[in-house]
Amino acid sequence: MAKSNKPIFWSLFAAGGTVTAFVTPALALVTLLAAFGANMDMFNYDSIHAFAGWWLGKLIIFGIISLSLWHAAHRLRVTVHDFGVRADTVVAYTVYGLAGLGTLLTIVYLLRI
Amino acid sequence: MSERQIQLEVLRYNPETDSEPRFQTYSVPCLNEWVVLDALNYVKENLDTTVSYRWSCHMAVCGSCGMMINGEPKLACKAFIHEYGDQIRVEPMAHFPVERDLVTVVDDFIAKFASIKPYLIPKEEKPVSAGEYKQTPAELLKFKQYTLCINCMLCYAACPQYGLVPQFLGPAAISMAHRYNQDSRDGGRDQRQEVVATNEGVWECSFVGACSEVCPKHVDPAGALQQVKVASTIDWYKEHLMPWVKK
């Protein structure tokens, strides 16, 4: 039997899971606080725009968005399988395709800032 | 000692003569401290000698009496009557073909278990005169938990993935591979990875975690499988990105 190539997707999934578990709740909280009018100068448009313009800022934003997408894609693939849909190849191409597209768009938009 | 009348519904099936399985109900006077296996033994001794089931030790060591009790994979010797109502349904372990009544055909598991080479493969053979292979308590601790597996196969009956994809190597076999891979005296990991690191090996696992929930010996197969995934992923990157690095 040939060894599996699933480690590529699983490692993105695992890394994305870690990011999602630690960063996403914090982002959700901060966004909610800002939305409800908390006074946070750090999170005004200009500072965030400046952060996204800095190379390390770009890298951090890229990591969070793309890894979250790959995590969600793999999770969705497994969930669809668990729900009894027996079309793994089609599902895999679709969800990974979307994650790949999202990754590309993230790069494009970040480079344009 | 309090006694309770239990309606024990037993799945009866003889594939050679019956067209389909059916349930037969026995009324069993159970003592409160009995386990389901005691109730089955009562049936066998007093009510119906034709009921077939496996058991041996009656103390959760041999791993023979695994069955579905009210739909959950359990050892019949560890399932106490007082934890159930007056009606208890016992069926053969899910995902295995039935040989007779509660007795399942386990050849598939035995073959998979053998395929991961569940024995020490020393890095280099030493002559007896060279003395024993020594191991520190810390080295033992790395795999001791996985040695507690009694091959009862409850994890296979619980694993939805094994139910969907019968080729899946499964929780107990992969955990046992991990047990030997983690052993400081062992050098057989490369051989085991040929079976474990395949699509039908560890990568069929979708981390439902039911195996660890039903494991009567707290082996935590799901945890072992996640560790195997991490190690196999590191292997994959080494093999594909740094082929010049020797393992």
Q: Are B80 and B30 in contact (CB under 8 A)?
A: no
Q: What is the CATH number of the domain that holds B177?
A: 1.10.1060.10
Tell whether B246 is covered by a domain. Answer: no
CA nearest to B197 within chain A: A3
pLDDT at position A1: 66
Q: Which residues of A touch B233 (CB under 8 A)?
A: 7, 10-11, 14
Residues B119 and B97 in one domain: no
Residues B129 and B198 in one domain: yes
From B104, B126, B151, the end of a domain falls on B104
B115-169: pLDDT as tens digits = 999 999 998 888 999 988 899 999 999 999 999 999 999 999 999 999 999 999 9
Name the residue ranges covered by the structural domains of chain A.
Answer: 6-112
Higher pLDDT, B131 or A104: A104
Under-70 pLDDT residues of chain B:
1, 246-247
Specify the number of domains making up chain B.
2
Give A2's pLDDT tier (boundaries 50, 70, 90).
confident
From B86, B104, B122, the end of a domain falls on B104
Q: What is the pTM of this model?
A: 0.89
Structure tokens at B217: 């010996």
Residue B30 structural domain? 3-104
Residues B126 and B232 in one domain: yes
Cβ–Cβ below 8 Å for A3 and B208: no
Residues B83 and B7 in one domain: yes
End-to-end CA distance of chain B: 62
End-to-end CA distance of chain A: 48
From B104, B130, B156, the end of a domain falls on B104
Return the closest-CA partner of residue B221 out of B135, B156, B165: B156
The CATH code of domain A6-112 reads 1.20.1300.10
Cβ–Cβ below 8 Å for B193 and A2: no
Residues B162 and B182 in one domain: yes
B6 backbone dihedrals φ, ψ, rounded to 5°: -110, 140
Q: What is the CATH number of the domain that holds B85?
A: 3.10.20.30
CA nearest to A12 within chain B: B233
Residues B84 and B156 in one domain: no
Q: Are B184 and B105 in contact (CB under 8 A)?
A: no
Residues B94 and B185 in one domain: no
Say what the ipTM of the complex is.
0.80
Cβ–Cβ below 8 Å for A82 and B160: yes
pLDDT at position B1: 63
| Chosen from B165, B199, B234, B240 to mutate, greatest number of chain A CBs within 10 A | B199
Tell whether B87 is covered by a domain. Answer: yes
Taking every pair of Cα atoms in chain B, the longest distance, rounded to a whole number of angstroms, is 71
Q: Cβ contacts of residue A10 below 8 Å, gap of 6+? A: A74, B203, B229, B233
Residues B230 and B113 in one domain: yes
Q: Is B216 helix (H, G, I), strand (E, B) or coil?
A: coil
